[in-house]
């Protein structure tokens, strides 16, 4: 997707880079268990200048941390563009509407709309889940506030929030009758971009995004492909068995298993994957996730890949 700067919806650097046809890199952090802006800076500061934007998770794993909204505001203040993740698990529509207006006021241009992990998987399983609306309705709500400058009640917003609206995707090897109805529905709801689950299979990615291109979908929304440096063969096998939509090829697992330094090999594989994704038409960028590692691992991978800002394939 390549649009002129006059049509930018958010005024953010991530959207501007994508719209200019440049390959982008995004990262992801979990807010700290600390009531301190300095703790956010310590966690994410190394990513400044290394990536185009940094996702802030919203109660990932159904565990409480500093609020994603607060952490994203701190990043914006530090000059690190945030992607604010919002789950519909924890807020009703009134709270979500207020946050969508407020995030723009605080210089947070990007939003990723998510369902949210079941609280039974977290450390406070007695928590009540909200789910007043679903993630698609959140996308639609964000688009309405941005494009129509009115609340669902009809009350006007002046000025309207400027937002780049994101959704999640999980690429799979497309079957002959592949029909991406879920993606189509999210775009219809208001999704401008997608960030995906981990992808470790380049051949599958070529087939998947080739099919999306053939269907004209990559002209209607931008896709940032998830990847991450693997720590060990144990982690790779765990991800294959436990993470929905993740398939790490056996040759990749064997390569890590046979390495003298599995952690270093995992980073090398991640760098190679990002470089391969940069050569696949239809992929706008890579989203680097390292939930069990510090942000310096993400920064090192981003620097070694050396693809940020290149013209896309």
- Of 271, 137, 133, 112, nearest to 192 (Cα)? 112
Q: Domain 5-305 - what CATH class?
A: alpha beta
Q: Quick one: three-class SS letters along 8-60?
A: CCCCCHHHHHHHCCECEEEEEECCCCCCCHHHHHHHHHHHECCECEEEECCCH
pLDDT of residue 291: 87
- Tokens representing 213 are 């291109």
- Tokens representing 220 are 């209607």
CA distance 267 to 254: 15
CA distance 286 to 215: 22
- For the chain of 313 residues, list the mean pLDDT of each consecutive stretch of 10: 63 97 97 97 97 96 96 98 97 97 97 96 96 98 98 97 98 94 98 98 98 97 98 96 93 97 98 98 97 93 98 97
pLDDT of residue 7: 77
CA distance 188 to 235: 36
Q: How are the residues of the chain apportioned to helix, strand and coil, as percentages rounded to the nearest 5?
A: 45, 15, 40
CA distance 187 to 195: 13
CA distance 182 to 177: 14
pLDDT of residue 3: 43
Domain spans in the chain, listed from the N-terminal domain onward: 5-305
CA distance 159 to 115: 28
Give the Cβ contact number of residue 246 at 10 Å: 18
């Amino acid at each position: 997707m390549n649009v002129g700067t006059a049509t930018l919806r958010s005024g953010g650097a991530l959207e501007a880079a994508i719209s200019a046809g440049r390959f982008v890199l995004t990262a992801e952090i979990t807010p700290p268990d600390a009531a301190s802006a300095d703790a956010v800076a310590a966690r994410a500061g190394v990513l400044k200048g290394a990536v185009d934007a940094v996702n802030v998770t919203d109660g990932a794993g159904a565990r409480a941390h500093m609020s994603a909204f607060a952490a994203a505001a701190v990043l914006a203040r530090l000059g690190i563009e945030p992607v604010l993740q919002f789950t519909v698990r924890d807020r009703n529509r009134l709270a979500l509407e207020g946050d969508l207006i407020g995030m723009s006021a605080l210089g947070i241009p990007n939003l990723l709309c998510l369902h949210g992990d079941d609280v039974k998987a977290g450390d406070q399983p007695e928590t009540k889940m909200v789910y007043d609306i679903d993630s698609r309705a959140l996308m639609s709500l964000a688009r309405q506030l941005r494009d129509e400058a009115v609340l669902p009640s009809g009350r006007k917003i002046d000025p309207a929030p400027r937002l780049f609206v994101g959704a999640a995707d999980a690429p799979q090897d497309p079957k002959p009758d592949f029909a991406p109805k879920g993606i189509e529905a999210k775009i219809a709801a208001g999704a401008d971009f997608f960030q995906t689950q981990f992808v470790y299979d380049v051949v599958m990615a070529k087939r998947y995004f080739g099919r999306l291109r053939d269907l004209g979908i990559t002209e209607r929304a931008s896709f940032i492909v998830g990847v991450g440096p693997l720590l060990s063969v144990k982690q790779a096998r765990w991800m294959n068995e436990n993470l929905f939509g993740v398939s790490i090829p056996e040759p990749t697992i064997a390569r890590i298993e046979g390495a003298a330094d599995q952690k270093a090999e995992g980073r090398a594989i991640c760098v190679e994957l990002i470089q391969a994704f940069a050569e696949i038409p239809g992929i706008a960028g890579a989203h680097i996730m390292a939930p069990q590692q510090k942000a310096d691992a993400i920064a090192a991978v981003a620097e070694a890949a050396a693809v940020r800002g290149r013209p896309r394939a």
